[in-house]
Amino acid sequence: MSAYEAHFRVWRGDQDGGGLKDFHVEVNDGEVVLDIVHRLQATQAPDLAVRWNCKAGKCGSCSAEVNGRPRLLCMTRMSVFERSETITITPLRAFPVVRDLVTDVSFNYTKAREVPSFVPPEGLGPGEYRMWQEDVGRSQEFRKCIECFLCQDTCHVVRDFEENKESFAGPRFLMRVAELDMHPLDAAAETGLDRKSTAQEEHGLGYCNITKCCTEVCPEQIKITDNALIPLKERAADRKYDPLVWLGNKIRRRGQ
């Protein structure tokens, strides 16, 4: 392997408009797309805007779309492309663009705030929490999330329908609801907050049609659909569509 010159098309512009600009740039052994963007900055386009931080797939900053697919720039190796291939980089297309490859991701922070936080259990002080590994395992998987928002970007519910942003939290934050609902010590229920039914009533779980793009795109390989969204749908069904469960709870409550 040796250095070669690759053809890149990078979207440049802002809210007022923009377009794909062509670049020819050197590529070396073992490099990732983010390296190429940095080389463009250092040699051809010093004001090319891009977000990045750790460059190791741990912070989830450098989300963009490469050849039309949402990716982390730092985890997209150049070796997956043919040398002759034109590589197109655009900003995330589900969010308002700020400049070049940088988008306004405030949608996600707004949604994060709408999910009621962890409710600590009554009567347990710091240091008194006892939880077993099998009980924390499910929520731990969801807490691997690096908040790159690629799932939020790829999800057609908001990507293709701006008006749904109002009522749909997106995979990342529905997963957060699932995480809290599966947290072994979350005491939301004791305070009258039913995370299962609010998932559907307030966070738009019903919009999800489980087409799994969020799972496909997740750089942390979290099984968002199978382990978070579908279980959450089932939990909502327990509350809202299952007379057997309803009856069972009724009887049990009476028995107590």
Partner 1 sequence: MATGTDPQATTPAPADSGTAPHGVHSASRAAIPGRHLRSDRWWLSPAITAAGLFAFIVYSTWRAFAGDDYYAEPYVSPFYSPCVAQNCVPMKGGANWEIFGAWWGLSPALLILIFPLGFRLTCYYYRKAYYRGFWASPPACAVAEPRAKYTGETRFPLILQNIHRYFFYFAVIVAGILTYDTVLAFRDEHGRWGHMGLGTLVLLANIALIWAYTLSCHSCRHIVGGRLKHFSRHPVRYRLWGWVSGLNARHMQLAWASLISVAVADFYVYLVASGAFDDPRFF
Partner 2 sequence: MTQVERQAWDVVVIGAGGAGLRAAIEAREQGMRCAVICKSLFGKAHTVMAEGGIAASMGNVNERDNWQVHFRDTMRGGKFLNHWRMAELHAQEAPDRVWELETWGALFDRTPEGKISQRNFGGHEYPRLAHVGDRTGLELIRTLQQKIVSLQQEDKAATGDYESRLKIFQECTVTRIVKDGDRVAGVFGYERESGRFFTLEAPAVVLATGGIGKSFKVTSNSWEYTGDGHSLALLAGAPLINMEFVQFHPTGMVWPPSVKGILVTESVRGDGGVLRNSEGKRFMFDYIPDVFKEKYAESEAEGDRWYEDPDHNRRPPELLPRDEVARAINAEVKAGRGSPHGGVFLDVSTRMPPEVIKRRLPSMHHQFKELADVDITAEPMEVGPTCHYVMGGVDVDPDTAAATGVPGLFAAGEVAGGMHGSNRLGGNSLSDLLVFGRRAGLHAARYAQESAASGTRPVPDEAQLDLAAAEALRPFSAEAGEPEETAGPAGPPENPYTLHQELQQSMNDLVGIIRKAGEMEEALHRLASLRVRARRAGVEGHRQFNPGWHLAIDLRNMLLVSECVARAALERTESRGGHTRDDCPEMDREWRRLNLVCRLSDPSGGLAAPDTGNGQIRLERRETPPIRPDLLNLFEKDELVKYLTDEELTQ
Token pair belonging to 100: 């070049």
Which spans of this chain sit near partner 1 (rule: CB under 8 A)?
11, 13, 15, 17-20, 65, 67-70, 85, 88, 90-91, 93-97, 103-104, 106, 109-110, 112-113, 132, 134-135, 153-154, 156-157, 159-165, 181-182, 184, 204, 206-213, 216-217, 226, 230-231, 233-238, 240-242
Which among partner 2, partner 1, none contacts residue 248 (Cβ within 5 to 8 A by kind)? none
Quick count: other Cβ atoms within 10 Å of Cβ 227?
Answer: 17
Which among partner 2, partner 1, none contacts residue 156 (Cβ within 5 to 8 A by kind)? partner 1
Which among partner 2, partner 1, none contacts residue 42 (Cβ within 5 to 8 A by kind)? partner 2
Q: With respect to partner 2, which residue has the nearer C-beta, 99 or 212?
A: 99
Token pair belonging to 173: 């934050």
Question: Residue 232 is inside which H or E element, if any?
Answer: helix 230-240
Q: With respect to partner 2, which residue has the nearer C-beta, 43 or 249?
A: 43
Question: Residue 89 is inside which H or E element, if any?
Answer: strand 86-90
* Residues 127, 255: Cα–Cα separation, whole Å: 35
User: What is the 3-state composition of the chain as percent helix, strand, coil, each rounded to the nearest 5?
Assistant: 45, 15, 40
CB of 149 to partner 1, least distance (A): 13
CB of 38 to partner 1, least distance (A): 21
Q: Quick check: 192 and 119 in contact, CB under 8 A?
A: no
Tell me which residue of 62, 44, 42, 168 sits closest to 111, measured CA to CA: 168
* Residues 152, 150: Cα–Cα separation, whole Å: 5
Token pair belonging to 56: 């190791």
Q: With respect to partner 2, which residue has the nearer C-beta, 120 or 248?
A: 120
Which spans of this chain sit near partner 2 (rule: CB under 8 A)?
14, 28-32, 35, 41-43, 46-61, 75, 77, 98-100, 102, 104-105, 109, 112-113, 116-118, 120, 124, 126-127, 129-133, 136, 139-140, 143-147, 180, 183, 186, 221
